[in-house]
Amino acid sequence: MAAKTIISRPIYGTLSPQPGKHHLFIADAEGALAITDMAGKAPPGFFDGAEIDFIPGPEGKHIAALEALKPAQLHLSPSFASLLPRLKQTLTNAHMGLRLYLAGTEGLIGQAMQVALEAGMDHTSMQTEHRGSLARRMQCVHCKGITENVTTQPALCSHCGLLLLVRDHYSRRLAAFQGVCINAEDRSEIPPMEETFP
């Protein structure tokens, strides 16, 4: 987690088993480890009513560890975009009392939360745990384009090409941090790009 924070920046917790019969986990990459760590605290039979939607990422790790939990469903997706139609369907048809657990990168947590909010769930009723990369999902305030997996400060907008300051100001509705032109007042000033969100 970044040390400096402001109030709009999300605060993540540690996954813990919630009462109920229906549990939906959405995780990417290292987020799998948040689930396996939590499993140690879960009552017997907890995963009998659980679905895990997992995006392993390029390294493809942790799949066996999740299989070992014997969830009712383990669904693997190559990307969040490919998971989205299924996730929307699942949340639309969800029972009252479905418990949602989001674990992994901020981009994954934010986008899954965005879908759940649109489906009428309250953000405070979701369990979240940040694991893995600090990379940010960023909206360019100028052209409105979203740039995924931003690791540098400043960062280039992948749509309009402006050099943006990645702010801590965060919108749950957009599931994105705000990017604002860093050298708007004098375009000849080019601050060095540092790997701030590895």
Partner 1 sequence: MGITFRKETFRDDYTFRNSPEHIRRFPFPFNEDAYMYAVNIEPHVVGPKGSVLENLIDVDEHYVAEMQDRALVLAEDPLRCQSLPHMTLAGWDLLELLMEQQALGYPEHFTLERNGDRWRWINRPLGIDDTFTFGDTATLPYGPMEYITRQSQGDFCILDQRDGNLWMDAGMVTTQADWSLDFDIGMNFFEWHAPVPLAHEKGIFTRALKFLTNIQQGKPARRLNWTMTINPRLDTSPENYHKWGPDRATVTPENVGQKVHLRVELQSFWRLPRSNAIVFPIRCYLIKMDELVTQPKWARRLHRVIRDLPEELATYKGLTRYRPTLVEWLSKLDDGSPTSPGFGPD
Question: Which residues of the shown chain bind partner 1 in the complex (CB under 8 A)?
Answer: 6-9, 139, 141-142, 144, 162, 167-169, 171-174, 178, 180-181, 184-187
Sheet of 126-130, strands arranged across = 73-76, 50-55, 23-28, 99-104, 126-130
Tokens of residue 77, six digits:
């997706």
Q: What span, in angstroms and rounded, lies between the C-alpha atoms of 38 and 17?
A: 7
Residue partners of 128: CB distance under 8 A and separation at least 6: 10, 12, 13, 15, 101, 102, 103, 109, 113
Q: Which is nearer to partner 1, 25 or 170 (CB)?
A: 170
**Smallest gap from residue 155 Cβ to partner 1 (A):** 15
Which CB atom, from 95 or from 173, has the smaller least distance to partner 1?
A: 173
CB of 142 or CB of 159, closer to partner 1? 142
Cβ distance to partner 1 smaller for residue 22 or 169:
169
**Neighbour count for residue 57 (Cβ, 10 Å):** 20
CB of 141 to partner 1, least distance (A): 5
Q: What is the spatial distance between Cα 127 and Cα 10, in angstroms, rounded to a whole number?
A: 12
Nearest approach in angstroms of CB 143 to partner 1 is: 9
Integer Cα distance of 138 and 178 in angstroms:
6
Which of residues 9 and 75 has its CB atom nearest to partner 1 in the complex?
9
State in angstroms the smallest separation of the CB of 195 from partner 1: 24
Rounded Cα distance between 52 and 112, Å, is 13
Q: Quote the least distance from Cβ 88 to partner 1, whole Å.
A: 18
